[in-house]
């Protein structure tokens, strides 16, 4: 018979007291809103002078999610943005990290400069980019005019608005760049030197050594970038408010409209749960697929 020490109740109490700020915050600011949103998803809400009134409608809100053309348009816009923005962010941030790990003069200055947009408030960035994309006074059209490209109505053309947002997303690749720089700095130089001695050229060293060793960080940045792309909201609200012709009406902006402009809290909660399931599904799928291409060094 083995003797086991029982933790005194005072130690248990002290542990829970120290953890209570986190536990209370989790329950109040995470668990309760999630549960309340799930309850609202089955309600029809009305806002009047007496406050918010609810009426149980069953699965009606979820049925509307799959039949509402506005919701489908918002989901398509979000998927379009994700499919094009995320790969471009990963490619450019990785190439930038590769360049900024070379022995360059003022390398730290360049690193700080490319990381700087991360600490700029999103609202300020949106206002600046709204000016950049201005059809008459924007610096982007001024730059393109040097090559004979006519001025474009970026944010006022439904065919160019989403590409403009994708281009703008490259402004904030500094966080991914820093992560890649840290990973590149941890690659053993002995492996690269051994491959060079064996006759491997620069391309072979990148594809056969650098990329396989960087796959865990590529996977991490991929997951975080996809989650962030599904949550794009502030730039669309400030710069276009979903226009023109709902071409930049992304899912979170649509949820905001339904909940806080039209006061359809029940339908907005159903839309939020749809987005939650999609993001969780993509994340689980990525973890499953990662077993085939992510290399973890033993």
Q: What is the pLDDT of residues 40-98, one digit of tens each?
A: 999 998 776 566 788 899 999 999 999 999 999 999 999 999 999 999 999 999 999 99
Work out the mean pLDDT of the chain and round it to a whole number. 91
Summarize pLDDT for 237-289 with one digit per residue, the tens. 999 999 899 999 999 999 999 998 988 999 999 999 999 999 999 999 999 99
What pLDDT was estimated at residue 49?
58
The C-alpha atoms of residue 281 and residue 283 are separated, in whole angstroms, by 5
Asked whether residue 298 carries a pLDDT value surpassing 70, the answer given is: no
Domains of the chain plus CATH, in order, are: 9-60 (no CATH), 62-293 (1.10.3720.10)
Percent of the chain that is helix, strand, coil (3-state, to 5): 70, 5, 25
DSSP-based three-state secondary structure for 8: coil
Specify the pLDDT at position 201.
87
Q: What percent of the chain has pLDDT over 90?
A: 72
Q: How confident is the model at residue 5 (pLDDT cuts 50, 70, 90)?
A: low
**Which of 2-6, 142-146, 189-193 is predicted with the least confidence, judged by mean pLDDT?**
2-6
For residues 236 and 248, the answer to whether their CB atoms sit within 8 Å is: yes
| Nearest Cα residue to 251 out of 278, 282, 275 | 275
pTM for this entry:
0.90
Inform me whether the pLDDT recorded for 1 exceeds 50: no
pLDDT the model gives residue 167 = 95
State the DSSP H helix or E strand holding residue 163, giving kind and residue range, or none if neither: helix 161-169
């Amino acid at each position: 018979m083995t003797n086991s020490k029982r933790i005194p109740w005072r130690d248990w109490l002290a542990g829970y007291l120290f953890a209570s700020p986190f536990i209370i915050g989790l329950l109040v600011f995470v668990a309760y809103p999630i549960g309340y949103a799930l309850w609202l998803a089955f309600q029809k809400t009305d806002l009047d002078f007496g406050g918010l009134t609810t009426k149980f409608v069953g699965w009606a809100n979820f049925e509307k999610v799959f039949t509402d053309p506005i919701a489908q348009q918002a989901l398509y816009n979000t998927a379009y943005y994700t499919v094009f923005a995320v790969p471009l962010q990963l490619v450019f941030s990785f190439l930038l990290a590769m360049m900024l790990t070379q022995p360059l003069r003022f390398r730290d200055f360049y690193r700080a400069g490319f990381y700087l947009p991360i600490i700029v408030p999103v609202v300020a960035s949106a206002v600046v980019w709204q000016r950049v994309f201005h059809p008459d006074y924007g610096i982007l059209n001024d730059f393109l005019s040097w090559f004979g490209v006519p001025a474009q109505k970026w944010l006022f053309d439904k065919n160019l608005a989403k590409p403009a947002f994708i281009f703008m997303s490259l402004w904030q690749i500094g966080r991914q760049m820093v992560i890649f720089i840290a990973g590149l700095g941890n690659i053993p130089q002995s492996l690269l030197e051994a491959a060079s001695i064996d006759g491997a050229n620069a391309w072979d060293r990148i594809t056969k050594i650098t990329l396989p060793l960087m796959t865990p960080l590529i996977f991490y940045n991929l997951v975080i970038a996809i989650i962030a792309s599904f949550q794009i909201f502030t730039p669309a609200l400030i710069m276009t408010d979903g226009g023109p012709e709902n071409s930049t009406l992304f899912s979170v902006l649509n949820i905001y409209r339904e909940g806080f402009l039209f006061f359809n809290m029940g339908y907005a909660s159903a839309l939020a749960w749809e987005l939650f399931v999609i993001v969780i599904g993509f994340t689980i799928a990525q973890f499953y697929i990662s077993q085939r291409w992510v290399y973890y060094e033993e």
